[in-house]
């Protein structure tokens, strides 16, 4: 899984490998202890549009600062437009080819269109917002689309990545995916975390790992543990 603040390897739960998520809107460094980085525009920039050369420069900057990391380059997609997304893929490919390896090409399957580029290494499925469907508010709709698409078009043939899945969507379909990314854990997912933060929802740097692991609990990817047994400590998961 890809997150903006991956914990060091000695804290990784069994069966979970972390990479870093860095976007043009929220640029973070690639820690030397991770070997994969998902490089993306961000949903906001994808919807607003961005110059390919600006994005290519950002990808190049990440490569220059992290030559050891395998870059998963999310190609620019056109929000809720499968045809334009495919055109963007072909246009951006020349710029992406200039990025030195190791790297993977990530194609966003907008509108869950079955026409996929043959040279795309990873197929990314929108899992937080699907066109005009908010997956937090209508998770069953999003879940059914993902399940149908995976089973009918990509299962067993492509690496499947979930883009920013909501918790309910991830709980239902994580077994169908090979990877996912999220930054949602930086906001408290329950009252216990809010209580720990003195009534605030947003995580601070010193409790980021606590928030991350609680988010994984809520996604049913980590066994539940209490973080408030020792109220003055934030390292219950270490």
pLDDT tens, per residue, the chain with 238 residues? 999 999 999 999 999 999 999 999 889 999 999 999 999 997 666 666 678 999 999 999 999 999 999 999 999 999 899 999 999 999 999 999 999 999 999 999 999 999 999 999 999 999 999 999 999 999 999 999 999 999 999 988 899 999 999 999 999 999 999 999 999 998 878 888 888 888 887 888 888 999 899 999 999 998 765 544 433 333 332 2
The answer to pTM > 0.75 is yes
Reference 164, options 138, 129, 213; nearest CA is 129
Give dist(CA 118, CA 53) in Å, integer: 24
* Domain locations along the chain: 2-182
Token reading at 90: 């072909």
Token reading at 234: 């934030």
Give dist(CA 157, CA 75) in Å, integer: 20
Sign, CA dihedral 179-181-186-191, equals negative
């Amino acid at each position: 899984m890809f997150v903006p603040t991956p914990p060091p390897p000695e804290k990784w739960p069994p069966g979970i490998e972390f990479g870093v998520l860095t976007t043009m809107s929220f640029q973070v460094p690639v820690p030397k202890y991770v070997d994969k980085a998902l490089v993306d525009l961000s949903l906001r920039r994808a919807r607003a549009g961005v110059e390919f050369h600006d994005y290519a420069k950002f990808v190049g900057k990440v490569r220059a600062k992290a030559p050891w990391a395998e870059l998963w380059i999310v190609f620019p997609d056109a929000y809720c437009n499968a045809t334009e997304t495919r055109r963007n893929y072909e246009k951006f490919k020349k710029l992406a080819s200039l990025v030195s390896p190791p790297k993977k090409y990530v194609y966003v399957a907008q509108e869950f269109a079955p026409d996929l580029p043959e040279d795309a290494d990873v197929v990314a499925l929108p899992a937080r917002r699907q066109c005009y469907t908010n997956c937090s508010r209508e998770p069953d709709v999003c879940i059914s689309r993902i399940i149908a698409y995976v089973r009918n078009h990509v299962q067993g043939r492509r690496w499947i990545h979930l883009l920013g899945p909501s918790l309910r969507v991830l709980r239902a379909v994580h077994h169908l995916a090979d990877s996912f990314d999220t930054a949602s854990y930086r906001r408290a997912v329950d009252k216990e975390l809010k209580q720990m933060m003195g009534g605030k929802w947003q995580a601070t740097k010193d409790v980021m790992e606590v928030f991350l692991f609680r988010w994984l609990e809520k996604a049913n990817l980590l066994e539940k543990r209490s973080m408030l047994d020792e109220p003055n400590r934030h390292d219950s998961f270490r």
